Amino acid sequence: MRNVQAVAANTFREAVRDRVLYNLVFFALMMIGAAILVGQVSIGIERDVIISLGLSAISVIGIFIAIFLGVALVSKEMDKRTLYALLAKPVKRWEFLLGKFVGLVMTLTVNTAAMAAGLYIALWSVNRAWQASDVHILAAVYLILLKLAMIVALALLFSCFTTPFLAILFTAGMYVAGLLAGDLRTVHGVELDPGTLRWMRGISYLLPNFENFNVMGAVVHGRGVPVSLIWQATLYAFLYTAIVLTGAAIVFSRRNLK
């Protein structure tokens, strides 16, 4: 694991030095603006608007970082040939991939944690008081983070065998399809032959099912997030990510570098 740690630490350092975390400034400005605006235009629903806006921003910003940086993790190293010297060391290719994945997930964790802190500050500034249900925001943020880890794994997989542009398209496509995966499993009101239905259900199980990771509605309205859902989502994300990363490692282990 020493090799994985070294690659992960360097990936995190790269993100910090390449000013990836500067997106937090944008997030902070947006939350400050929203807090000021919400106080003026909405009566009684300030809290809901701030939570909804904050969680959406955490998710969208995280998805952008996960897709674009996830694809660049490997393709940039290959394009710039920084990988050559590294792979000539006693480092297995899967260790390099796993290190890159862990490094970006570390970056996303710091980024998401900072944005969550910003969300709580904005919430305090409009309400000047905490509510017991505010703790559920943490569960929503945690589930967003799991979703981002799955997206990073997919971006890594695609970047291992195709161009960065196509890898971005494929990853974004998988994300959108993943939002609809649940619908594919429960198609109602459409007349389809059983073969097509089976095929659609089969496909839906290959897609990442992001439906269970979206608890924003419940959190905004002060409802709790069931612990069982958190466990299930954690297990699902862990397994899905592990399978996708294994696929990426298999593809990358036979990849000819240019």
Partner 1 sequence: MGVADCEHDSPAPVDEVRKLFKNMGMPQGAIEIENLSKEYPYGFLSLKKKKSLEDLTMRVEDGEVFGFLGPNGAGKSTTIKLLMRLIFPTAGTARILGKSIDDVSMHASIGYLPEQPYFYDYLTAYEVLDYFARFHNSKATERAARVEAMLKKVGLDTAKKIQLRKYSKGMLQRVGLAQAILHNPKVVVLDEPMSGLDPVGRREVRDIILELKREGRTVLFSTHVLSDAEMLCDRVGVIVGGKLRGIGAPGELVDIKAQGMEILFELSGAGRNLLLLEKATRTGDRYRVQLPEAELYAALDALKAAGARILSVAQIKPTLEEYFMHLVEADRAQASAVEVSGK
Residue placing its CB nearer to partner 1 in the complex, 49 or 83 = 83
Contact in structure between 66 and 237 (CB atoms under 8 Å): no
Residue length, the chain?
258
Binding of partner 1 by 82 (CB under 8 A) = yes
- The Cα–Cα gap between 63 and 69 comes to 10
Which of the residues 237 through 256 are near partner 1 (CB under 8 A)?
251, 254-256
Secondary element (H or E) of residue 163: none
In the set 28, 91, 110, 218, which binds partner 1 (CB under 8 A)? 91
Binding of partner 1 by 20 (CB under 8 A) = no
In the set 45, 60, 166, 206, which binds partner 1 (CB under 8 A)? 166
Binding of partner 1 by 21 (CB under 8 A) = no
Read off the tokens for 78: 């290959």
Closest C-alpha to 21, from 92, 69, 87: 69
Q: Of the ranges 20-28, 62-70, 75-83, 225-233, which one interacts with partner 1 (CB under 8 A)?
A: 75-83
Binding of partner 1 by 234 (CB under 8 A) = no
Binding of partner 1 by 114 (CB under 8 A) = no
- The Cα–Cα gap between 168 and 144 comes to 19
Q: Of the ranges 30-38, 59-67, 83-91, 205-213, which one interacts with partner 1 (CB under 8 A)?
A: 83-91
Residue placing its CB nearer to partner 1 in the complex, 12 or 175 = 12
Long-range contacts of 127-131 (CB under 8 A, 24+ apart): 127/46, 127/47, 131/47, 131/222
Residue placing its CB nearer to partner 1 in the complex, 166 or 206 = 166
- The Cα–Cα gap between 125 and 37 comes to 12
Binding of partner 1 by 88 (CB under 8 A) = yes
Contact in structure between 171 and 74 (CB atoms under 8 Å): no
- The Cα–Cα gap between 125 and 114 comes to 17
Binding of partner 1 by 161 (CB under 8 A) = yes
Contact in structure between 103 and 9 (CB atoms under 8 Å): yes
In the set 41, 43, 90, 186, which binds partner 1 (CB under 8 A)? 90
* Total interface residues for partner 1 by CB under 8 A: 30
| Contact footprint for partner 1 (CB under 8 A) | 2-3, 6, 10, 13-14, 17-18, 80-82, 84-92, 161-163, 165-166, 251, 254-257
